[in-house]
Structure 1
Amino acid sequence: MRQLVLGGVRSGKSRYAESLAKITGLPVIYIATARAGDDEMQARIQQHQAYRPADWVTLEVFDADLPKQLAKLMQQPKVILLDCLTLWLTQLLCEAPLSEALLEKVDGVLDELVEIVAAGGQAELIMVGNETGLGIMPIDALSRAFGDRAGLLHQRLAEVCEKVVLTVAGLPLVVKG
């Protein structure tokens, strides 16, 4: 099964996704996409790490290699918990100055990710992303590029996933499945 768990900051999305992974009884591979750019982010990462069971394998993937790594992992009978799609997208968009060439590269990587998720595999896949499209239109080009790509990525993944959940105030709201 492929699941997409969306929500705002501190909505409970990661905790909910982790609970889904735990109840399967299968080995879990946790794909962490966050980089610690400052002390506050390092504290957030440490909080997530402390909550995870010790027997989960953690892979840190911050770059355009994510689709290729996910494709390999999908062929194994395990649970893959990918947290977080939007942090990963942010890092892709910030690896170089904003340009049409960068946006084309990012769009190609997003296409590749959607294709791999659509193809499925033996693994149970749980993906986590921040639902960022509920606010105002951002004023700068980079923020608009991020919002557009995050929204379209979530739509495309929701289309190929069997289950989609929106978390609000720690409560899971099933949107699909």
Structure 2
Amino acid sequence: MTDTLARHALILGGARSGKTRAALDWAESLGPNRVYIATAEAGDPEMAARIARHRAERGPGWRTLEAATDLAGALAQVGEVSDADERAHAAAPEGRADAVMVDCLTLWLSNLFGAGRDPEAEAEALIATLASARVPTLLVSNEIGMGLVPDTPLGRSFRDAQGRLNQRIAAAVGHVVFVAAGLPLRMKGEGRYFP
């Protein structure tokens, strides 16, 4: 693992486990200028309301990028902004990113399935981008393999792809945290980037 990858983290948990809140708190501890990369799309009124609620909960200090499928591109964009701001920080401190949070890899994977994109190739591109990203990046993902086996081939295929994605990201980053009932459990990593 490179020193760059060591600063990134995967935050796992089930639905309503508190994983997003844990990641938000962690990102906020890293500095006042944060980027939230949203993978959700407002496909119906309930989802639109959920997205609005999440946006309101984040509060000030967050800049939002939307990346339904091009997550590597969005992360690269944050890196380019941060590199430029390193040179001109005094002139434009609001553009500098202290932390990036991706919420969430599960919706991103679902979007890839819907778009007919290759999840393995997209995961490879994501990891390559993380390897060059200097801003600590917190990636939120669902642990969906602890429940019932889905009864459809598509459901089983998605569950398997989610498990493989989580394993690849967990192996690549320096920190992994599992959240259950709002309580974070450190699975991998230690040091100053861990809350």
TM-score of Structure 1 vs Structure 2, range by shorter chain: 0.7 to 0.9
Please state how far the C-alpha of 1:66 moved relative to its aligned partner.
1.4
Match of 1:99?
none
- Is 1:151 aligned with 2:163? yes
SS of equivalent residue, structure 1 residue 94: helix
Match of 2:11?
5
The CA distance in 2 between the partners of 1:109 and 1:131, in whole Å, is 19
SS of equivalent residue, structure 2 residue 115: coil
Give the residue type in structure 2 aligned to 1:84.
C
Match of 1:169?
181
Please state how far the C-alpha of 1:136 moved relative to its aligned partner.
2.0
1:86-135 deviations in whole A, cap 9, x for unaligned? Answer: 00110110124xxxxx5xx2321122112222x14310110001111101
Q: Which piece of structure 1 moves more, 82-91 or 140-149?
A: 140-149
Please state how far the C-alpha of 1:21 moved relative to its aligned partner.
0.7
The CA distance in 2 between the partners of 1:95 and 1:121, in whole Å, is 26
The CA distance in 2 between the partners of 1:81 and 1:26, in whole Å, is 13
Alignment TM-score, normalising by the size of structure 1 = 0.88
CA contact (8 A) 1:2 1:120 kept: no
Match of 1:43?
49
Q: Could you say which structure has the larger radius of gyration?
A: 2
Question: Percent identity between the aligned chains?
Answer: 42
Equivalent positions of 1:1-177 (< 5 A) are 1-63=7-69, 65-74=70-79, 76=82, 78-96=98-116, 102=117, 105-117=118-130, 119-177=131-189
Pairs aligned (count): 168
The CA distance in 1 between the partners of 2:49 and 2:181, in whole Å, is 21
Give the residue type in structure 2 aligned to 1:133.
G
The CA distance in 2 between the partners of 1:52 and 1:148, in whole Å, is 31
1:1-23 deviations in whole A, cap 9, x for unaligned? Answer: 10110111110011110000111
Please state how far the C-alpha of 1:137 moved relative to its aligned partner.
1.8
CA contact (8 A) 1:78 1:122 kept: no
Alignment TM-score, normalising by the size of structure 2 = 0.80
SS of equivalent residue, structure 1 residue 6: strand
The CA distance in 1 between the partners of 2:77 and 2:43, in whole Å, is 29
CA RMSD of aligned residues (A): 1.6
